[in-house]
Structure 1
Amino acid sequence: MSGKNILFLTLLLFIPVSLTAHFLEWGDLIVFITAALAILPLAGWMGTATEEIAVVVGPSLGGLLNATFGNATELIIALVALNAGLIDVVKASITGSIISNLLLVMGFSMLLGGLRYKEQTFQSVVARVNASSMNLAVIAMLLPTAMNYTSIGISERIVQNLSLAVAVVLIVVYGLTLLFSMKTHSYLYDVGVADTESEAEEVDHQKPNIWLWSGVLLVCTLLVALESELLVDTLEVATSKLGLTALFTGVILVPIIGNAAEHATAVTVAMKDKMDLSMSVAVGSSMQIALFVAPVLVIAGRIMGQPMDLDFNPFELVAVTVSVLIANSISSDGQSNWLEGTLLLAAYMVLGFAFYFHPVV
């Protein structure tokens, strides 16, 4: 059994611990920490289950499944927080997920991969397409905020209607990016896929049990929803005890909790000199958050009666814009090294300090 699986099995013990802490009222801080630790292995098993099912159903349907469940943990946490009315935390988690994937994950991947291999390469065409998609996401987040700040007496309903219209456009664009990557230009993405398939063939010639992994996916999804309830219910009190603001929690802590397993995967494959696959995990996750998860949350907010829109905190928008610019400039040439990874990590640390010291408004 691999060290990763041993760690996951150990962390699963925090599921009963978090439930016990909740029912015996051990305190919000203990419930928050144990629920966060319980979500980590569940997110990892959800990712593994999705990949195993994708092997059985084929590349097209499997790609769609991966695209849909790629950020399922973060989406579930955000939906629970949205239902609880923690809209600022939801918005912060969206921006934080984009920032952490572009700077933290890509940075660690380039740094640790670059320490083992002097220079690593990946598809520059894919990098440019991804860069254009992220630029669109920044524009989509910027315009509702700009309209709100440049119009006097604008109603909240108008901002929500604009956000809903933009959300529909982004979901359509996300669907087109899937068509591009899985159908019309799938050959650009074949490098990472081929590596993954060849590894799978070496490990085991038998196809995975789809019913077993479907059950694992279902159980993990339900448990993530349960642990997310505990996490969100205790979030405000626990973070205040830790001396953290809701903004810092949403931008830094929640994305790390929800995406830790996926982050580890990107770094691991980069250290095996498979930067195409690593970049697809890191940048693909950011694109999914910006073009799919955020719009879905806007639509869900309308259904739930929660005023969710794309009118973000200007400070968050600055952070996202800076992250997209530096990530695009570093990845556009299709090559990476350890210094570029260090620059991305340094940018993430600077933004992390800025969010930590940002006063509560």
Structure 2
Amino acid sequence: MNKILYILLIFIPISIAAHVLGWGSEVIFITAGLGIIPLAAFMGIATEEIAVVVGPNLGGLLNATFGNATELIIALVALKSGLVEVVKATITGSVIGNLLLVMGFAMLLGGFRYKEQEFQPTAARLNASSMNLAVIALLIPTAVEYTSSGVGESTIQTLSVAVAIILIIVYGLTLVFSMKTHAYLYDVGVADLESEGEEEQEKPNLLLWVGVLLVVTLLVAVESEFLVDSLEEATESLGLSALFTGVILLPIIGNAAEHATAITVAMKNKMDLSVSVAMGSSLQIALFVAPVLVIAGWIIGQPMDLNFNPFELVAVAVSVLIANSISSDGQSNWLEGGLLLATYLVLGFAFFFHPVVEGLG
């Protein structure tokens, strides 16, 4: 895996050259996307190494904050460029991708090696309840828009900011719950994570990894600029709608390293950690990243609300429903993984053939 990451680093200078020399939007889009994948991986590695030094509480908060930093950076760049509908599609795609694609592959490949794999059902059910709240919160502004006449954009924007603040508070409460008051429910996953880190390095150099994190974050911002600037023209020439790109491609690019981690640990029979990565990432997108984007859009004058395309909400609700159903018993097998992947493929084809709507150019 490390060799692949190092090989993919070559796309960073290639994307810079493509941007400077004007090699075309398709080349810039593809090379920037490939360049972000190893950067996201190194961001995750740096965060984990720093967490080992600063201790479990601060380290857990650091991991929670930087868990979806790559996606947040890409979304903020897109928001700054006025691609609000693409940002919304990316939020949808991230939730769907983590619950169906990541957890699906983890259960499928882990299930091929081990007949039955077990994980903490109580934590899974708590995550499921939090995801249900997130779906309701994302649904409400759209429901208000579609069931009322004469509701202005400013009203929906204000409602979205209020909902965003509530979701961020809930996210904070989930962190307190998982790291403080009920940390024992998550002990298995944390122990697995620590053992994974100990295998690689006993005493990390704090200054080195802080430097790596800063450099990588800067490079992610640069590559995200290239990716977003070339997105509309590139997707049009490649025959892809911006909706499909936002829901399917961008989340895979931003989350590729995290996906690989969840699948790798599942194949080592550490399904607790794998489910924690997949469901935890979805929760962070819904309860933290989406609200932060709403508030950021309000601050910078790019109105970003939670009034989603109804089909996107249907896709998220379907994903949460089947993921919660499969994870509720605390056991998994290869067939359940296959069911999650089949659902993802069905939704993927639906988004591919979904007609382009206004604002998704």
- Report if aligned partners of 2:79, 2:87 keep a CA contact under 8 Å in 1: yes
Give the 3-state SS of the residue equivalent to 1:35 in structure 2: helix
- Report if aligned partners of 2:48, 2:197 keep a CA contact under 8 Å in 1: no
For 1:138, the equivalent position in structure 2 comes to: 135
Q: 1:229 aligns with which of 225, 230, 238?
A: 225
For 1:321, the equivalent position in structure 2 comes to: 317
Q: Which runs of 5+ in 1 are unaligned?
A: none
For 1:149, the equivalent position in structure 2 comes to: 146
Question: 1:204 Cα shift?
Answer: 4.0
Give the 3-state SS of the residue equivalent to 2:190 in structure 1: helix
* Residue deviations 1:18-69 (CA, integer Å, cap 9, x gap): 0111111110000000000100000000000000000000000000000000
> How far apart, in 2, do the equivalents of 1:204 and 1:55 lie?
10
Say if 2:307 is the partner of 1:275: no
* Residue deviations 1:259-293 (CA, integer Å, cap 9, x gap): 00000000000000000000010000000000000
Question: 1:203 Cα shift?
Answer: 4.5
TM, length-normalised to structure 1 = 0.98
TM, length-normalised to structure 2 = 0.98
Quickly say closer, same or farther: Cα 1:168–1:210, change in 2 above 3 A.
same
Q: In the TM superposition, what are the counterparts of 1:185-196 in structure 2 within 5 Å?
A: 185-196=182-193
> How far apart, in 1, do the equivalents of 2:351 and 2:326 lie?
23
For 1:247, the equivalent position in structure 2 comes to: 243
- Report if aligned partners of 2:130, 2:283 keep a CA contact under 8 Å in 1: yes
Aligned AA for 1:182?
A: M
> How far apart, in 2, do the equivalents of 1:338 and 1:198 lie?
25
For 1:341, the equivalent position in structure 2 comes to: 337
Q: 2:291 aligns with which of 295, 308, 317?
A: 295
Quickly say closer, same or farther: Cα 1:90–1:199, change in 2 above 3 A.
closer
For 1:95, the equivalent position in structure 2 comes to: 92
Q: 2:13 aligns with which of 9, 16, 23?
A: 16
Say if 2:107 is the partner of 1:110: yes
Question: 1:198 Cα shift?
Answer: 3.2
For 2:348, the equivalent position in structure 1 comes to: 352
Quickly say closer, same or farther: Cα 1:218–1:271, change in 2 above 3 A.
same
Question: 1:9 Cα shift?
Answer: 1.3
> How far apart, in 1, do the equivalents of 2:292 and 2:193 lie?
30
Quickly say closer, same or farther: Cα 1:179–1:115, change in 2 above 3 A.
same
> How far apart, in 1, do the equivalents of 2:250 and 2:38 lie?
15
Aligned AA for 1:96?
A: G
Question: 1:8 Cα shift?
Answer: 1.2
> How far apart, in 2, do the equivalents of 1:125 and 1:24 lie?
54
Say if 2:123 is the partner of 1:122: no
Aligned AA for 1:344?
A: L
Quickly say closer, same or farther: Cα 1:83–1:270, change in 2 above 3 A.
same
* Residue deviations 1:128-161 (CA, integer Å, cap 9, x gap): 1000000000000100000001110110000000
Output the aligned Cα RMSD: 0.8
> How far apart, in 2, do the equivalents of 1:95 and 1:174 lie?
18
* Residue deviations 1:279-337 (CA, integer Å, cap 9, x gap): 01000000000000000000000011011000000000000000000000000000000
Question: 1:197 Cα shift?
Answer: 2.2
* Residue deviations 1:48-103 (CA, integer Å, cap 9, x gap): 00000000000000000000000000000000000000000000000000000000
Aligned AA for 2:282?
A: S
Give the 3-state SS of the residue equivalent to 1:73 in structure 2: helix
> How far apart, in 2, do the equivalents of 1:202 and 1:347 lie?
35
Say if 2:297 is the partner of 1:286: no
Say if 2:246 is the partner of 1:256: no
Aligned AA for 1:19?
A: I
Q: Which runs of 5+ in 2 are unaligned?
A: none
For 1:72, the equivalent position in structure 2 comes to: 69
> How far apart, in 2, do the equivalents of 1:271 and 1:91 lie?
33
> How far apart, in 2, do the equivalents of 1:289 and 1:344 lie?
19
Aligned residues: 357
> How far apart, in 2, do the equivalents of 1:88 and 1:200 lie?
38
- Report if aligned partners of 2:49, 2:197 keep a CA contact under 8 Å in 1: no
For 2:234, the equivalent position in structure 1 comes to: 238
Say if 2:216 is the partner of 1:220: yes
Quickly say closer, same or farther: Cα 1:259–1:201, change in 2 above 3 A.
closer
> How far apart, in 1, do the equivalents of 2:268 and 2:280 lie?
19
Aligned AA for 2:165?
A: V
Aligned AA for 2:277?
A: V
